[in-house]
Amino acid sequence: MHRFLLTVTIGGAALILGYQLGSRGASTRAGFAGMRRKLMKRMMGMMPEDSPPRLVMSILPRLREQNDQILNLLKEQSDLLRQVSAKR
C-alpha cells in the first residue's frame, strides 16, 4: 500500500512539474513535451501491472477502435437516412 501511495505521489508531482514546465512558452513546448513523455513512460514502467493507471492505459487502444467503429456506423446510417429522405 505504501509503495502505491509513493508511486501516485511521485506521478502527481511529475505531472504538476510537467504542466508548469510546459506552460512557460511556445518555443520550449517541444522539448518539454518530449521530457513529459519520457517521464510518463518511465513512471508507467515502474508501476505494478494491476495499478489503475496501467489498466486504463491498456484499455485506451480498444476504446479508440470501438469509437472509430461506432463513428463509421453512424456515418453509414446518416448516409442511408439522407438517401431515404431524398427519395421521398
For residue 64, the model assigns a pLDDT of: 95
CA-CA-CA-CA torsion sign (29, 31, 54, 12)? negative
Whole-structure pTM value: 0.46
Nine-digit cell at 13? 508531482
Q: What is the pLDDT along the chain (88 residues), one digit of tens a residue?
A: 778 777 878 877 777 777 776 655 555 566 778 888 898 888 888 888 888 888 888 889 999 999 999 999 999 999 999 999 988 7
Helix 2-22 to helix 29-46 angle (10° resolution) is 170
For residue 83, the model assigns a pLDDT of: 93
For residue 74, the model assigns a pLDDT of: 97
Q: Could you give the CA distance from residue 71 to residue 65 in angstroms, rounded to a whole number?
A: 10
Residue type, 40: M
CA-CA-CA-CA torsion sign (10, 39, 64, 78)? positive
